[in-house]
Structure 1
């Protein structure tokens, strides 16, 4: 399955979409053999003289056609300015840095193709009955955990039971689970087992869903098992902090964890018993690389590749001699969110609060009008991020509403809206008071990371100041990744000091946005809920939505509702760039690519820049 991203992670939580951009799928134009320079990318902007790039100029897979050596040590960098959290299990992790480590040693049981639909090529195959509600999965006989124990249907059921357990401390529980018969009763303590999940053989699992839904075949099935023989004696509330997650994690993926330096690096060795065949590499090291030193790490050969290269650094390094830059349209977007309520831990749902500072939709719309996201994309990212219009990204063109323009940059319209809504400067200091005449200070949380994080945050603050809004950074500074998401509500506690925040979502495979904006979604950090939103989200996964045109209409209406309500607004869509050392073969950043065991190298040492 796809990595999420920083981008938070979070991905595997979300579902995703049905089609991908044809331009991103091509990669047919070879850049030549190793050492041959590709055509120069980008065109100069007439206004700034800076180069503006397009994601369509990049391949999604390496073009190196050299001869692979036997074995080799591949070094992979996860670009982040913070330590990885160390929740090294798909059932417990929450951030992309951890998922970028897990993918090397654990696999999903189901595979998906480039259009995000499940295939029969994974570690498990499946059949669907005529009702579309009953799925029968069969795990392949040669799929074994790293300790030699077979991966069983009991292990898969166990993962569902743990996530649905009331003592579960992770973030997975949500719409993908409540659609299964009996899960909510199990969660509420009304049943001792999940009635809709049945083990019918050592390797066969049957799941009955409440209704047929298009989501099920495009990411709506939790595909990760949990080794019951390892976790069965650990209390559910203690699992996330156990050695089985943090110190000695196992999976059934192509590599096995050999050693962990907490927060910094994980060393893995090949799993000779891997179900898809023995990996070509002998060893993989996954390590944290700070965005400020990622160029040096690549040039010196400290790493062979990184999960994502800061796009703001690309123009100065586009001609790095020892790497090939791969690119794809990221299944993600950046956004500004408004705090409209809190999270009810007992009911596990959003609790809207009409008294919140940002409760007035006119204030929210004005703040969107006030910012020029086209300029942000060009000035800070040289075109590798671009103005976002709706909350379904263009990486999913079958559902992204290309005809919806979003809310345009228009500071004069922002001022007009604020005036009419009663936000006026009553004391002559240049800043608007609220309609009650009280001082209005809007507290803004934004993450650190990369050279442009602070300038972009400052840009937004200055843009809002130009329309008379006093916006200040929470604590007077940017927040590091883990602290940011804890404070905006990932822990279930919403910091009352935060009024608005800048975040990023890495979406997954099914278009269903309920995992981010549903009433019962922990990741609904704006804490927005409405009856119309509930109805549209439910309609989008209904049996009627099995018809493509019907589902398209539902999500077109949902995108428009989000423009009218503005619980959040998207700022930029994103390109993802991944530089890969010239010695590396068989590497891809295509959606759902799962052939890590095929990666090979053409020489022992990582090639260095001249």
Structure 2
């Protein structure tokens, strides 16, 4: 759209003048022979401030998007989600599946010009597993089944005993305690990215500030203003800088989805999320610029099963009734209307190799679910003819989350006589309160797969998972997940785990995500076939208006 390119032309001119000739400008053509725009910047909207951009501490999707552009791990993903070389040119696996040997490229550099070595990965992985780091993603290192990782996480062994070794500057050897067929997928995650030891030791917690940060990805941190924006610039030291077209990436923090859409329409943004319910109209108006594709994320409500939760929620019948009374079809078709699908299990339907079990609740009509919900609530002694029940629904500030909460509250009121109180918090406070189980009843959650395998969803409900924000603990469930890690075919075990969730209802799955957004038609290279929607700005480029 011409108006967008025109509005950003001033920024582009300043950038080109500052950086000089770039590959994108010099070549004048994109990877498929397209004529490139002079302006090679990308600006997008995010909902909230990033809790952290330190790879070992990142715990949210938007933080991961920033981390993936500032840093590069052993392996990357291509536009379809397949694993491809990153800092490592490749790897070998021992016959028993317990030893991975990664060969690092010799031209990988930190943004200060220093070489990236295998020792940088050793330091990062030890730091992530170290209890002193207090990473919310420490548990992820445990999922990787690295030798001695559980003892390191528990504080019983020194991080130096972790099963990762720099054989030489360009060889990283990882020893596992048991084979993991999807291990290579796991090292595309930000937690496993290298971090600069000298910089961290010099600046401490402030090492991620502009002017301090040293990174090894396609971009460097240029500027950041809390609650407003973060700006990245092309890293000239990146090993593949000659093939990076986008020279500047800016994420604008805009809490209001409708305001963000208005700014997209005005040409201030290249990408923004579609407000709930507006996709059909926007698709009609803007055509292919309105995008909806499957995304490996599930939206659900945590039920607080800890001592801090309501006594009524200890009753499985109450939890099941609450789940049954949610009309998911109304939520996905009328409230959201962006291609989402109803969820009755935790694992997203598009997850590779996964087939959801045929749970009874998914086969019922909504009328049948409502009748069963009324029976269960009456048996438990709550609802219209029993003890009054009022539930708080905690969610992070977002109009879409509010709309879903309002809809669910109305369904519970009309079907079960249960009243609700809505409680919203800003992102970081919300995360802290939910992690600490400091909510009385219900807390909104959304989980996106860290790798394309069912365990990435199911592991969050393990007793020891730091993202088990309902306080759920079931020995049979934990054993199934443990057994699945060494099973030749883990799918039947995953299905049994899903069935336990449906029997116990520690969470209330609501819908499986679609990624629904507006994308300027001059931006090319977005990975629409990557179900995790892990994007890299270095894969993007802007074409000239026709």
TM-score, normalised to structure 1, is: 0.76
Q: Distance in 1 between matches of 2:535 and 2:413?
A: 47
Q: Distance in 2 between matches of 1:447 and 1:506?
A: 16
Q: In the TM superposition, what whole-angstrom CA distance separates every residue of 1:430-487 from its partner, at most 9, and x where no partner exists?
A: 4631xxxxx533222133313x4333212211221224343322xx543333222221
Q: Distance in 1 between matches of 2:357 and 2:458?
A: 21
CA drift of 1:256 comes to 1.7
1:112-511 map, 5 Å: 112=77, 118-120=83-85, 123-177=88-142, 179-187=145-153, 188-191=155-158, 193-219=160-186, 223-233=192-202, 239=204, 241-244=205-208, 248-278=212-242, 279-289=244-254, 290-306=256-272, 308-321=273-286, 324-341=289-306, 356-382=311-337, 384-396=339-351, 398-401=353-356, 403-404=358-359, 406-407=361-362, 408=364, 409=366, 410-421=369-380, 423-424=381-382, 430=384, 432-433=386-387, 440-450=389-399, 452-473=400-421, 476-489=422-435, 493-495=436-438, 497-509=439-451, 510-511=453-454
CA drift of 1:585 comes to 2.9
CA drift of 1:116 comes to 5.0
Do the aligned partners of residues 424 and 411 (structure 1) sit closer, same or farther apart at CA in structure 2, a change above 3 Å counting? same
CA drift of 1:247 comes to 6.2
Q: Distance in 1 between matches of 2:448 and 2:44?
A: 19
Matched-pair contact (CA < 8 Å) for 1:431–1:468? no
Matched-pair contact (CA < 8 Å) for 2:219–2:233? yes
Do the aligned partners of residues 440 and 584 (structure 1) sit closer, same or farther apart at CA in structure 2, a change above 3 Å counting? closer
Q: Distance in 2 between matches of 1:69 and 1:581?
A: 13
Do the aligned partners of residues 501 and 282 (structure 1) sit closer, same or farther apart at CA in structure 2, a change above 3 Å counting? closer
Q: Distance in 1 between matches of 2:131 and 2:379?
A: 48
Q: In the TM superposition, what whole-angstrom CA distance separates every residue of 1:352-390 from its partner, at most 9, and x where no partner exists?
A: x89844111111111111111011111112252221121
TM-score, normalised to structure 2, is: 0.84
Q: Distance in 2 between matches of 1:383 and 1:266?
A: 28
Match of 1:21 in 2: none
Q: In the TM superposition, what whole-angstrom CA distance separates every residue of 1:11-50 from its partner, at most 9, and x where no partner exists?
A: xxxxxxxxxxxxxxxxxxxxxx999xxxxxxxxxxxxxxx
Q: In the TM superposition, what whole-angstrom CA distance separates every residue of 1:79-112 from its partner, at most 9, and x where no partner exists?
A: 31x3333x22221122233223233222222124
Q: In the TM superposition, what whole-angstrom CA distance separates every residue of 1:515-572 from its partner, at most 9, and x where no partner exists?
A: 4111111110011011101111101211xx2x3xx21111111111111111112111
Do the aligned partners of residues 390 and 204 (structure 1) sit closer, same or farther apart at CA in structure 2, a change above 3 Å counting? same
CA drift of 1:172 comes to 1.2
Q: In the TM superposition, what whole-angstrom CA distance separates every residue of 1:555-605 from its partner, at most 9, and x where no partner exists?
A: 1111111111111121111211232222223333332665532422234xx
- 2:223 match: secondary structure: strand
Q: In the TM superposition, what whole-angstrom CA distance separates every residue of 1:46-95 from its partner, at most 9, and x where no partner exists?
A: xxxxxxxxxxxxxxxx999841145x342321331x3333x222211222
Matched-pair contact (CA < 8 Å) for 2:462–2:473? yes
- 2:250 match: secondary structure: strand
Q: Distance in 2 between matches of 1:246 and 1:467?
A: 53
Q: Alpha carbon RMSD of aligned pairs, Å?
A: 3.0
- 1:578 match: secondary structure: strand
Stretches of structure 2 lacking an aligned partner (at least 5 in a row) = 4-29
Do the aligned partners of residues 124 and 225 (structure 1) sit closer, same or farther apart at CA in structure 2, a change above 3 Å counting? farther
Match of 2:74 in 1: 109
Do the aligned partners of residues 120 and 335 (structure 1) sit closer, same or farther apart at CA in structure 2, a change above 3 Å counting? same
The structure showing larger relative contact order (alpha-carbon pairs under 8 Å, at least 6 residues apart) is 1
Matched-pair contact (CA < 8 Å) for 1:155–1:227? yes
CA drift of 1:141 comes to 0.8
Match of 2:499 in 1: 560
Q: Distance in 1 between matches of 2:159 and 2:449?
A: 33
Structure (1/2) with the larger helix percentage? 2
- 2:296 match: secondary structure: strand
Match of 1:436 in 2: none
Task: Answer yes or no: is 1:90 the counterpart of 2:36.
Answer: no
Q: Distance in 2 between matches of 1:481 and 1:153?
A: 35
- 2:58 match: secondary structure: coil
Do the aligned partners of residues 98 and 526 (structure 1) sit closer, same or farther apart at CA in structure 2, a change above 3 Å counting? same
Q: In the TM superposition, what whole-angstrom CA distance separates every residue of 1:207-242 from its partner, at most 9, and x where no partner exists?
A: 1111112232332675311111212356xxxx5x32
Match of 1:68 in 2: 36
Q: Distance in 1 between matches of 2:157 and 2:123?
A: 18
- 1:444 match: secondary structure: strand
Matched-pair contact (CA < 8 Å) for 2:43–2:251? yes
How many residue pairs get aligned? The number is 506
